[in-house]
Every structure is written in C-alpha cells, then in structure tokens.
Amino acid sequence: MKQISITIILIFFSLCLFQCNSSKKLSGPFKAKLVATLCGQHIVQIEDSNFYKLGTDWKGYKHVFAVANHCDFVKKGLKSGDVFICTIVEKAEEENCIVCEAYMETPELKRNVKVLQ
C-alpha cells in the first residue's frame, strides 16, 4: 500500500512539473497583425486562435499586446494593417536605437516579438 501511495505522489509531482515547464514556453509561430504603430510604440493583434491567451482585450481590440523590443521589431519595416508570422521570445536582443518623442497609448501587456516573415 505504501508503495502505491509513493508511486501516485511521484506521478502527481511529475505531471505538475511537466505542466510548469510547458507553460514557460510562451509560443510557437503564429499569425499576427500590426494594428497601430507610432515611433517606438506598436500594438499587435494575435490572429491565430490557438495563441489568443498571449494577448489581452484593450480599448475595443481583442487579443492584443504592445511590442517591448521596438528596435528589433522596427527593422522589419511593417506598417499598420500588415499581417505577419512571429513568435514571442523571453529575452530580446539589446535595444539600442533612436525613438522619437511622439506618444501613443498602448496596452499594459508587453511582449518581445521576433518576426519570422
């Protein structure tokens, strides 16, 4: 009986660890749309329903987030309305670029984005 209890406890903790590790992976590639951009602020809307959980609802937009890594993101030359494939990365490349002083309100949720195409 004691052996069965220990086995059950080990299985339970293994499942918990698996779930914790899988939640650290933020995303695979998904389709997104640049809904607004101004200088160093960019709002991205997630177009793939499998990844909606990575966004938030904000001011009439569904499943959106602000781009945290402006310098890398702006190199892709995207314009408002462009649809692209991207992934969320935990750590962005070093940010070292010029950003103008214009301001646009963005969602509080910010993510580092790597544009794949």
Count each helix (H run) and each strand (E run) in the chain, helices first.
2, 6
Question: Which CATH architecture fits 26-115?
Answer: Beta Barrel (2.40)
> Concatenated DSSP letters for 74-111?
HTT---TT-EEEEEEESSPPPP-----S------S-EE
Domain ranges of the chain: 26-115
Q: What is the DSSP letter of 54?
A: G
Q: What is this structure's pTM?
A: 0.76
Q: What is the average pLDDT score of the chain? A: 84
Percent of the chain surpassing pLDDT 70: 77
Q: What is the DSSP letter of 14?
A: H
| Whole-number pLDDT of residue 54 | 96
Closest CA to 92 of 67, 74, 69, 66: 69
